Structure 1
């Protein structure tokens, strides 16, 4: 049987939890991954309308770090933003925090990430609001990532930025420079803002220093970071923002590693694939295998569980999503007809049922009867810890534990 994140946690998490101190968010994520699509979460029955086929479908945990049930939320998020992204070129800009600040992030995940979002968005809006670079209000979509391919801490922010903006007269302005912003100017301003915000939050008591770090040591660290360049990447403009949004969608749900990258779980060790970084001879495609003790693997995965209800994807400026965004004005300035009676719900495709989403993704076999090809119908929901009621299936013997565990009854 292929190894999955669920099987790793089912076999080894209890022993790991006895040896390590974990947060409530970590326990919640581990519980969700272990019980996703199992009897513990309840479910429903999918049946052919003509009775040829019956399938017991257990509910997904819907935790954003679970790789097993993140596909549908990602598709829905991307469908909504396809209608929201303005029809203009977009730049992909990455803001990376120095690794020497990783300990501060581990002990202040929400406050640290809020600071990163604020520093990056304010840097972009202030610089691009200057007529020297653009002189307009831009749209920014930002997504937080905290890991690299090896599951180590790598806190960075991916942003999609419109290559142009709306000026005070309601006209669309194009950037002065082809690169949108000079990388060095962007880096210096972002670095200054981020450090100033960290100092202010520590002064206000909204962040705490890691154990063993004094206030003087923290100030010394920030001064040392002023002398080194921070990693800020500005990519050439893409013709539209959908391609970059598609890239971001892979990370907003499903956690830091998918089941397809897991190779084996044997003798207390996990082997998985990862892409070699450029600094180690990688070209972005070359892959290697990593072999870790299972405790190390679980520990690395758990450190990337976001705080509960923390928003890891945010919009700013024209993409801020409120009545002050001026998105409609920008769309009209770009020649897009806006239906003022459509309301604020731009994710119209969210009303589609699960069969529509599967068929749109080319997975019709998942939602149709293998005999007559009719769409399966969902019925008879049942509570957690229970099996489907007898009346949901054609024969009483079909609901015996052996058949329920198999998940399908033909």
Structure 2
């Protein structure tokens, strides 16, 4: 993918002097500062050199901040996550479900993020678990992978949970039972929406003392749980899921202009068939909205449940692989060698590390003995 013309970091850097006035939360402020200095000399870095004697070029690389909200730090983590899922896949169909909170709960959610997000995870799994246990649908124990997203396309606050659920479960005799919808549906959407609404509101009552009118309003509103038709197979589901796992509120490639203290980016308008349209915000409003989606410190946004949870999958997955067969994705492994971007042939080796004072001024004068030693070891 080509390098983005503009970056979120550019917007943060030009507003560095007023960030403390826009963001009062210290944790969110630390996150913004990390994104601002990501892959700059402030982070330190290293110098690589190409071992191809016909090239022999040096390349300076700056360290990443590795913050999970940084648009520049998610690609490598996403690839690692996808590779790690290969041995956890079940050779069956999978369904994509989305549990969304109504707008009436947005203020409560934003003010109590850890609590409400935890309730969202807990309630969504309880609904899926109990519907799967019902003999009308599966009659067994299923699993789920859930990923929390908090944003809409225009960076508005829109908390929702993306869930991937296998099309079946394991019965008490440890035999696989396929869902009875025959790949047309997993659970009835209307029924699951009503149960989700009732259970979520029950949990809200236990944790918060809201005005009775609010509960009345929540029950009057239809809560829609989205459930898509199954994927073609495990390969498609893991590629699809991989796009969601390490997504951030906005990618740098969506930015189309950042001049005159204004930020313009492309956003899908789902009210008009998902058509892409430009959205313009002031710097201050863009930063304010971006901060909506910085999660509380230590909060886990990807969770595994049931037969896909860490406590059960080690014992159950081998049984299911024996019954249903193994899944072989043959994903493209990352090369152990780093290839020179200049000649596209030579292997890169790191010849020097540097701190926030920056790289040495005369890179060509670096000790050639280091390079010769490495070449001998490699050969």
Report the TM-score when normalising by structure 1: 0.81
Alignment partner of 1:240 out of 208, 213, 233: 233
Distance 2:258 2:144 in 1: 41
SS for the counterpart of 1:266 is coil
Alignment counterpart, residue 31 of structure 1, candidates 23, 33, 38: 33
User: For the structure 1 residues 121 and 67, does the alpha-carbon distance in structure 2 shift closer, same or farther, using more than 3 Å as the test?
Assistant: same
Q: Distance in 2 between matches of 1:131 and 1:374?
A: 60
Distance 1:173 1:133 in 2: 10
Match of 1:406 in 2: none
Matches within 5 A, 1:146-225: 146-177=150-181, 178-202=184-208, 215-217=209-211, 219-225=212-218
TM-score by length of 2: 0.87
How much has 1:368 moved relative to structure 2?
Answer: 1.9
Indicate yes or no: 2:330 matched with 1:330.
no
Rounded to whole Å, the distance in 2 between the matches of 1:336 and 1:10 is 49
Alpha carbons 2:89, 2:327 under 8 Å: kept: no
Partner of 1:291: 280
Q: 2:20 aligns with which of 17, 34, 38?
A: 17
Q: State the Cα RMSD in Å.
A: 2.6
Give, in whole Å, the separation in 1 of the partners of 2:194 and 2:349: 57
1:120 deviation in Å?
0.3
In the alignment, the residues of structure 1 paired with residue 344 and residue 213 of structure 2 have an alpha-carbon distance, to the nearest angstrom, of 71
Deviation at 1:390, TM superposition (A): 7.4
Candidates 285, 292, 301, aligned match of 2:290: 301
DSSP-derived class of the 2:144 partner: strand
Q: How many residues align?
A: 358
* 1:42-93, Cα deviation, whole Å (9 max, x unpaired): 1111111256111111001001111112110011111112331211100111
Where 2:48 maps in the other structure, the secondary structure is strand
CA shift, 1:322, in A, is: 1.8
Aligned-partner Cα distance in 2 for 1:379–1:97: 52
Give per-residue Cα distances to partners, 1:249-282, cap 9 Å, x unaligned: 33433521111110111221111101111x2x22
* Residue 216 (structure 1) shift: 4.5
Q: Which residue of 1 aligns with 2:221?
A: 228
Tell me by how many angstroms 1:300 deviates: 0.5
- The within-5 A match list for 1:3-402 is 3-18=6-21, 20-50=22-52, 52-177=56-181, 178-202=184-208, 215-217=209-211, 219-277=212-270, 279=271, 281-282=272-273, 284=274, 286-323=275-312, 326-336=316-326, 355-356=335-336, 367-368=339-340, 370-371=342-343, 373-383=345-355, 385-388=356-359, 393-395=363-365
Deviation at 1:372, TM superposition (A): 7.2
**Correspondence for 1:362:** none
Please list every run of 5 or more consecutive structure 2 residues that lacks an aligned counterpart in the other structure. Answer: 367-379
Structure 2 CA distance for aligned equivalents of residues 99 and 48 of structure 1: 54
How far apart are the structure 1 equivalents of 2:312 and 2:9?
42
Cα 1:130–1:254, aligned 2, differ >3 Å: closer, same or farther? closer
Shift of 1:389: 5.3
- Return the alpha-carbon distance in structure 1 between the equivalents of residues 341 and 242 of structure 2: 30
